[in-house]
């Protein structure tokens, strides 16, 4: 089995100076890069590739992990992070290069394959490395990981808002397109009348003429059912049946599902998506996956992010989320602070305190429970600055990987903010030392504050 290449900066370039001699060594990103144990991370991942496959050798693990970190720190796409990497020498130094690179480090599609190769286990190790970096920098102590806050949120999928008319029309179009590709001659495709009827149905829905809208939906179901039965009659050989199997199964579920059905289809290209109602006035229904987040009580560092395959009550997600946090941080959770949605959680290994709880509460516990809502701004930053607001990765695996990558980016942003605050305090101290408007006594007081 072949292993990815390793970066070597021992040899000098004849006509190129080293980045380490040009860039600002006090830049927060370079300070963060020096605090990460890259060698330990590469050995923990231990990725191997088959030597039988043709193509160029695998890229260095540090380059891939660095690109994923930068991508989710800035909330960028695969194409954008690769193109900006060429333009930013600090990003190149963060990924282990000591000479300026003028070409793309890899094809953006390679990040997709690397994410699948690393999987959940590999990304959990990267998340653990960010926590170890926080310990190395003195941002947190190991005891801080025993006291956590847990909450759930919805990570929306990259799908259009689901309506019955659009789903029926899309299923029929996909079946007709696949039939044409497979060489099947259908009796009727309903290309023209289907598109015209969908426009009418959408207009009736907008005008709240629901009787006419339901009549139009009934016709769209008829069109889809005729195409499904026509394909089933004509796709008799096993190869064609295999090609149509998944799409026919989804189409039949669309035809059978009603308003009260369970396990509905909300998207044909993402059938794993489900509907979550969180009771928000501005957004009553969200379509994606529920994510259970666990952060440290004091600093807000993400200790775990568990994406759920199926919708579940918040209390039923707590045990799995705390187990993941223990596995990543390496410390058992002694106290967990949650909101009232976690009643009936059933957790026995940790002490769980619910908002509004009065029995058995001391003064310190009441003060700690008041800080439970501190997780809400962290979730807001993950959605606004990270990629928790919308998941662009495919399938159930992509949903789980995106939740972990968002947590990695969130931790790195917190560490960068810590380094920037230290620099600002140091700069303020230097200015105060040189200021002629402060006497010696006031300078000493300012130094103690900083």
Residue 446 pLDDT level (bands cut at 50, 70, 90): very low
What per-residue confidence (pLDDT) applies to 14?
A: 65
Higher pLDDT among residues 45 and 12, named by residue:
45
Across the chain, what does the average pLDDT equal?
89
List, in sequence order, every residue forming a beta bridge with 306; answer none if it has no partner.
292
Q: What is the pLDDT of residue 56?
A: 73
Percent of the chain with pLDDT over 90: 73
CA distances 433 to 31, 428, 442, 443, Å, are 25, 9, 10, 7
Whole-number pLDDT of residue 421: 81
CA distances from 28 to 35, 386, 405, 413, 414 (A): 11, 19, 21, 11, 12
Domain ranges of the chain: 19-133, 139-160+273-415, 164-256, 424-449
How confident is the model at residue 109, as a pLDDT? 93
C-beta neighbour count of 60 within 10 angstroms:
20
Model pLDDT, residue 450: 45
For 244, residues 6+ apart whose C-beta sits below 8 A from its C-beta are 175, 178, 182, 231, 235
Q: Is the dihedral of CA 268, 272, 277, 281 positive or negative?
A: negative
Of 40-44, 312-316, 446-450, the least confident: 446-450
Q: How confident is the model at residue 108 (pLDDT cuts 50, 70, 90)?
A: very high
Handedness of CA 258, 264, 267, 269 (dihedral sign): negative
Among 46-50, 200-204, 313-317, the range scoring the smallest mean pLDDT is: 46-50
Give the pLDDT score at 51: 62
- What top-level class would CATH report for the domain 139-160+273-415? alpha beta
On the question of pLDDT at 271 being above 80, the answer is yes
pLDDT digits (tens, 9 = 90+) for 352-401: 999 988 888 899 999 999 999 999 999 999 999 999 999 999 999 999 99
> Taking a C-beta distance cutoff of 8 angstroms, is the pair 104, 89 a contact?
no
Name the residue with tokens 């396990």: 263
Q: Which residues contact 251 (CB under 8 A, 6 or more apart)?
A: 171, 172, 175, 224, 228
Does this model's pTM top 0.85? yes
Q: Is the pLDDT of residue 432 over 60?
A: no
- pLDDT single digits (tens) 152-171: 999 999 999 999 999 999 99
Query: How sure is the predictor about 79, in pLDDT bands with cuts at 50, 70 and 90?
Result: very high
Other CB atoms within a 10 A radius of the CB of residue 304 amount to 26
pLDDT value, residue 449: 45
Query: Would the CA dihedral through 405, 80, 40, 23 be positive or negative?
Result: negative
Q: What's the rounded mean pLDDT across residues 242-250? A: 94
Look at strands 147-157 and 302-307 and give their pairing: unpaired
* Mean pLDDT, range 204-209, rounded to an integer: 96
């Amino acid at each position: 089995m072949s292993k990815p290449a390793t970066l070597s900066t021992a040899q000098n370039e004849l006509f190129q100076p080293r980045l380490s001699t040009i860039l600002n060594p006090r830049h927060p990103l370079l300070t963060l890069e020096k605090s990460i144990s890259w060698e330990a991370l590469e050995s923990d991942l231990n990725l191997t590739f088959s030597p039988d496959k043709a193509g160029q050798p695998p890229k260095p693990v540090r380059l891939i992990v660095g690109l994923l970190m930068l991508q989710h720190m800035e909330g960028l796409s695969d194409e954008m992070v690769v193109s900006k990497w060429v333009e930013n020498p600090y990003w190149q130094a963060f990924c282990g290069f000591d000479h300026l690179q003028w070409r793309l480090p890899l094809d953006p599609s390679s990040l997709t394959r690397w994410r699948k190769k690393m999987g959940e286990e590999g990304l959990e190790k990267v998340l653990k490395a960010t926590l170890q970096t926080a310990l190395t920098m003195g941002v947190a102590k190991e005891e801080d990981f025993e006291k956590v806050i847990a909450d759930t949120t919805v990570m929306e999928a990259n799908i259009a808002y689901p309506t019955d008319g659009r789903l029926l029309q899309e299923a029929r179009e996909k079946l007709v397109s696949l039939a044409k590709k497979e060489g099947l001659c259908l009796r009727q495709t309903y290309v023209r009348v289907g598109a015209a009827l969908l426009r009418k149905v959408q207009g009736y829905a907008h005008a709240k003429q629901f009787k006419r809208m339901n009549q139009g939906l009934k016709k769209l179901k008829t069109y889809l059912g005729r195409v499904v039965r026509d394909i089933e009659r004509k796709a008799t050989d096993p190869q064609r049946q295999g090609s149509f199997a998944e799409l026919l199964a989804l189409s039949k579920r669309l035809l059978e599902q009603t308003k009260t059905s369970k396990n509905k289809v909300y998207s044909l290209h993402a059938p794993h998506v489900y509907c979550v109602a969180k009771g928000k006035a501005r957004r009553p229904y969200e379509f994606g996956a529920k994510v259970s987040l666990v952060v440290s009580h004091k600093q807000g560092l993400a200790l775990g992010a568990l994406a759920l395959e199926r919708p579940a009550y918040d209390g039923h997600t707590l045990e799995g989320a705390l187990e993941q946090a223990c596995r990543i941080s390496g410390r058992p959770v002694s106290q967990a602070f949650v909101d009232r949605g976690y009643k009936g959680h059933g957790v026995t290994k940790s002490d769980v305190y619910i908002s509004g709880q009065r029995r058995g509460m001391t003064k310190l516990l009441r003060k700690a429970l008041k800080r439970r809502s501190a997780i809400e701004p962290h979730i807001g930053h993950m959605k606004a600055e990270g990629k928790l607001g919308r998941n662009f990765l495919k399938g159930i695996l992509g949903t789980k990987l995106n939740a972990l990558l968002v947590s990695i980016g969130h931790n790195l942003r917190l560490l960068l903010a810590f380094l920037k605050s230290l620099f600002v305090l140091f700069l303020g101290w230097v200015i105060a030392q040189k200021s002629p408007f402060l006497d010696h006594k006031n300078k000493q007081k300012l130094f103690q504050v900083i």
